[in-house]
Amino acid sequence: MQSVSGVPSKAGEKRKWWSRTTRLRQGYGGQASRTYGAAAESRYLLRDAGLMPVIAGLLGLIIGCGESIESQIDKNIGEIGNRRSNAQAREASVKELVRIGKPAVQPLIYTVKKNTNSLARANAVTALGRIGDKSAEDTVRKALEDKEPEVRASAVEAIANLAGERAIMTIIDMFKDKHQSPRDVAKIMLSTKLSPTAIAPLIKCFDEKDALVRLEAQTALAQMGNKPLPQLIEKLSDNDPEVVVLASRTLAAIGDKSALEHIKAALDRYPEGEKNYQIRKKIAGAYNDLIQK
């Protein structure tokens, strides 16, 4: 359709475009339309078969193959400190760095030492611990003294992964940390990954003057279940009544009623009277707590 001036009108052009598009979508119009229709049909078949996510993943791998290791490391190190992204995205970047492995170690060490973002340092420490390269151990040990508790907490887990049993006393020292999160991670590492080797050092903490250390050691032992039962029962005969109390309370927290007779025997070692009143009260309290479980 033309205007009065002889120039095709916009309305006419629009109708021609619509007509061509409609024919293609409906399967008309020769080879081009048949190609379009086949592609659309294939796409719908893949979608209905649930294969579109698989295809998208394969395309991602193909694209990723063209990206250098260095750029992948830089990208993921940038992401692990990104507070605007969610925790799942940061964890995915940590896992990717762990997958890359040794080539990521030195960049991660540099991040721990130099990055001013505490979240980046914490996640870099976590990645180093999971990679397990021994060259990172000194850096991770220094991170236990980082000014931020989230970094120290990550360093506790990492040093357990890197040093294993050699790190037990170092991790127990974290019971003195003024923040709860490093202490909590220390208890988890000692009661799971480093159990049962950590039992004797933890029981030795009953002799510590620091009440917080004694309490955290008691909690870590209780989290081990029945594993420390024999050593704790032995401690019921200790000459220090406070140690006997701690052993009684830990046994009560574990909840194994086979310890009842041993706690009762410990209670009987202290005759009734004003001198032993407080000790008897504490041991009896543990005994009653265990009965009620």
Chain mean pLDDT for the chain: 85
* Interval 148-193: pLDDT, tens: 999 999 999 999 999 999 999 999 999 999 999 999 999 999 999 9
- b vs e for 67-97, b when ≥16 Cβ sit within 10 Å of the residue's Cβ? eeeeebbeebbebbbeeeeeeeebeebbebb
- What is the reported pLDDT for 49? 52
* Interval 2-29: pLDDT, tens: 444 444 444 444 444 334 334 333 333 3
- What is the reported pLDDT for 26? 39
Asked if 172 contacts 190 with a C-beta cutoff of 8 angstroms, the reply is yes
Q: Which of 48, 52, 122 is nearest to 81 (CA)?
A: 122
Biggest distance spanned by C-alpha atoms of the chain: 120
CA atoms of 175 and 61, how far apart (whole Å): 44
